[in-house]
Amino acid sequence: MLVRLLFVVLFFKVVLFSCGGFWYDDGKFLFLEKRDYPFAKYEENLEFASTYNSVIYDYEKRAKEANIALWQKQLKNKFTKKQIEKIVYKNKNLHLIEDKDTLDYLAFVKKQENLVSSFYKYYSKKQKQNILKPEILIDEALEKLQKVKSKDLKKRYFFLALRLAHYKNLKPLIIYDAHKYLLNNHSNTILDDWIQGIYAGALIRNNQISKGVYEFSKLFSKDKINWHLAFYNFKYIKNQFQWDELVDLTTSKEELTKLYAIRGLSKNANIIHELKNIAKLDINSKYYELLLYKALLKSQSFFDIENSLYGKNEKIDYTNFINYLKTVKKDDMYLVNLTLGFFSYYQNSIKQAKYYLSLLKEKYSSSHEVQNLDYILFLNDIKKINSDVEKKIYNKLNFLSNNSCTFNSIEKYTFYKLKNLYKNSDLEFKSYLMSQMDYFDERSLNLDRLNKIDDLLNSKTNNSFENYIASKIKNKDIQKTLEYARIYELINNFKFEEALQSKSALLDYKVTFNIFHNSIRGNNR
């Protein structure tokens, strides 16, 4: 029950303070705004399995939304998105569809889905015998493609046939060449993205490595649903010859800068080298911004809390990066100066960090990222804490509270920094409170601390920061945690009468004792 309560407290904070479902991770602080670039929200190594799984989860969600939206358009907006989801993804309420060609298509999707399922290899021999051969289904899809009148359904049959041929290695490139005319309508739908991805994969399987990777690179754009394929298939370029072949396929500077950017996303990439490569072609390229932003985002691990769970932070020397960025001149210097500000701070070059902050504030004083850097440098300057300093902290926190995507990190980082400042100022109780503001650990609470918390909640003070902390502790979930902790402490100190007088709901909780249940310990004994 108590574990469940702590989970509720944590879940409440995530829902309340997170921005768009990310930028929250216990023990981490991220002070940057989200960017609308491929992979822009992933600070971790893109080759980590956990990161890949997150990317795929995000892709599948976006793909489903895009496909439902396309179906809604194809069906002349006769159905809601929820209705379409049930029809297309759950094969329900098919009686609502009046068009015979659409019903035939949905029936065919059902017929071929086992062959392209990721679980196909786990099917028994008997199960596989009951599935039609892929050659038969491919022929059927292509036959239906020729007969159906709807251009949308033609393209969908094209995709199904091409995917099945690719998965089963049944000459998909021949199918693509014969039906690629269906793509020449300047549309940009999820179907076009899916077909492009299958085509690129088929080229690689046909040992046309460089051409396949080049075709995958065409998906590396925020308006493509499956943009992740451009990076995760770049691994097939393994030598200089293949790279040179790939470069020769590009038809513009933008395509070449894109390749440098994709290569620069690798965990072993020389970011400065790739930035220089892009700069030679177009220093104002969006791909230059992407790589620089990713470098800055990754560097935010500098702020991670060091403990037994997360380990020690890797110490990185940013001197070479700083020296390079000092030479950069581009139309918009915002991200360059922001990076220089943060990197200088990491190097403990505070005066230099404040210089770049001053440049940023001249033009971008309303930027949340600039305000965050300003606040970080403010906290860094605090050596001793008192009520006047607390008031300044509160005023700045209150000002930053509108920075919805990053305020959770700002607030947590404040508590993290103040914990040591209070400790160094012999303010042990306040230091303790700062260590518990994310969520209270019941095991750390005793009657003395609980009484001090009550005094804080009941006191009338002009200290705005203390009032701010009190308001957070008054959260009903935290209050329940404190209530339960008090009951446990009263019982453990044999103050049973006082515990009973509380009339806490916890006292109604019954534990069935079993002498053979050796996991019951502590307060359950």
What tens digit of pLDDT does each residue of 454-483 get?
Answer: 899 988 889 999 999 999 988 878 888 887
Residue 166 in tokens: 């690719």
pLDDT at residue 520 in the model: 52
Using pLDDT thresholds of 50, 70 and 90, give the confidence band for residue 492: confident
Report which of residues 190 and 459 the model is more confident about: 190
pLDDT at residue 7 in the model: 36
Mean pLDDT over residues 40-60, rounded?
Answer: 91
Average confidence score pLDDT of the chain: 88
* Strand residue runs (E) in 430-521: none
Q: Is the pLDDT of residue 441 over 90?
A: no
d(CA 227, CA 56): 11
d(CA 211, CA 513): 69
Of the chain, the percentage scoring pLDDT greater than 90 comes to: 68
Using pLDDT thresholds of 50, 70 and 90, give the confidence band for residue 438: confident
d(CA 466, CA 334): 36
pLDDT at residue 127 in the model: 73
What tens digit of pLDDT does each residue of 119-135 get?
Answer: 666 677 777 677 789 99
Of 22-36, 198-212, 330-344, 346-360, the least confident: 22-36
pLDDT at residue 10 in the model: 36
Using pLDDT thresholds of 50, 70 and 90, give the confidence band for residue 519: low
CA angle (390 as vertex; 389, 392 as ends), nearest 5? 65
pLDDT at residue 15 in the model: 31
Using pLDDT thresholds of 50, 70 and 90, give the confidence band for residue 29: confident
pLDDT at residue 189 in the model: 94
pLDDT at residue 443 in the model: 84
Beta carbons within 8 Å of 497's beta carbon, 6+ residues apart: none
Q: Read off the pTM.
A: 0.85
Task: Using alpha carbons, select from 359, 279, 335, 333 the residue that is nearest to residue 37.
Answer: 335
